[in-house]
Amino acid sequence: MTPIERRGLLFVLSSPSGAGKTTLGRRLLEADAALTLSISATTRPRRQSEIEGRDYHFVSLKTFERMAAQGDFLEHAEVFGNRYGTPREPVAEALAQGRDVLFDVDWQGAKQLRANAPEDLVLVFVLPPSAAALENRLRTRAQDSAEVIRDRMSRAAEEVSHWGEYDYVIVNDDLERAYNEVRAILTAERLKRERRKGLSAFVEGLLKDLG
């Protein structure tokens, strides 16, 4: 059977820093060839483990501001004193090819995406099981200074307060269960009738054959 043509979707994962959205997103990408990652541009300095074009597009503040002024971003925001934005053109190209696009953005980015592409958007918020677990994860990954960790913890309450703006909410107390829940959401959203552009033609052909 030929797959029924469908419209692509924008799949957003948000969470406080350290709650697991990046890990969940990477597992989704490894398991699903139909999903592509939206690579954000950022003015944040590159970490040692990060690769240009894979993790982020690292740009100067001047370049970022020029792109924002030209309308080159689907969404952009300032987080911890650094600028982040989603380039518009690669997302449009992926959707035109019938591919789904994964976004790793905060609530500010999710809000802008809802304003710009509400019909194609699926919003998932990932919660940590507790404040203590969140702080422990931030310290264990050893990517940030103690001062940055304090800043991230103080910001977590503000981020969590926006959970009600999302379509789905997952508590990441067990990574495997959280991953399976995220995959189930993605599968169900792909099967929604309104996203399956080829469904009407398929059903019409089926009815003709049955008649």
125, part of any domain: yes
Q: What is the spatial distance between Cα 191 and Cα 36, in angstroms, rounded to a whole number?
A: 18
pLDDT tens, residue by residue, 31-70: 999 999 999 999 999 988 888 988 899 999 999 999 999 9
Report yes or no on 81 lying in a domain: no
Contacts of 44-47 spanning 24+ positions with Cβ under 8 A: 44/80, 44/82, 44/84, 47/143
* Domain membership flag for residue 63: no
Q: Do the bridges between strand 73-79 and strand 82-87 make them parallel or antiparallel, or are there none, so unpaired?
A: antiparallel
Is residue 36 a contact partner of residue 42, using CB atoms and an 8 Å limit?
no
Q: How many domains does the chain have?
A: 1
Distance in angstroms (rounded) separating the CA atoms of residues 59 and 70: 15
Angle at 8 between CA 3 and CA 13, to 5 degrees: 125
* Domain-located, residue 117: yes
Other C-beta atoms lying within 10 Å of the C-beta of residue 91: 22
Instruction: For residue 200, give the CATH number of its domain.
Output: 3.40.50.300
Tens of pLDDT, residue by residue over 107-147, are: 988 999 998 888 889 999 999 988 888 888 777 766 667 77
pLDDT of 20 strictly over 70: yes
Contact predicate 25/37, CB 8 Å? yes
Is residue 172 in some structural domain? yes
Model confidence pLDDT, tens digit, residues 62-103: 999 999 999 999 999 888 789 999 998 989 888 878 789 999
Domain-embedded: residue 64: no
State the pLDDT at residue 185.
97
Q: Specify if 2 maps to a domain.
A: no
Residues 6+ apart with CB under 8 A from 77: 83, 84, 85, 105, 106, 108, 109, 112
Which pLDDT does position 135 carry in this prediction? 80
Task: Check whether 168 has a pLDDT greater than 90.
Answer: yes
Q: pLDDT tens digit string along 180-204?
A: 999 999 999 999 998 888 899 999 9
Domain that holds residue 20: 10-38+99-210
Report pTM: 0.83
Q: Report which residue type is found at 35.
A: L
Residue 2, pLDDT > 70, answer: no
On whether residue 70 sits in a domain, the answer given is no
DSSP state of 87: E
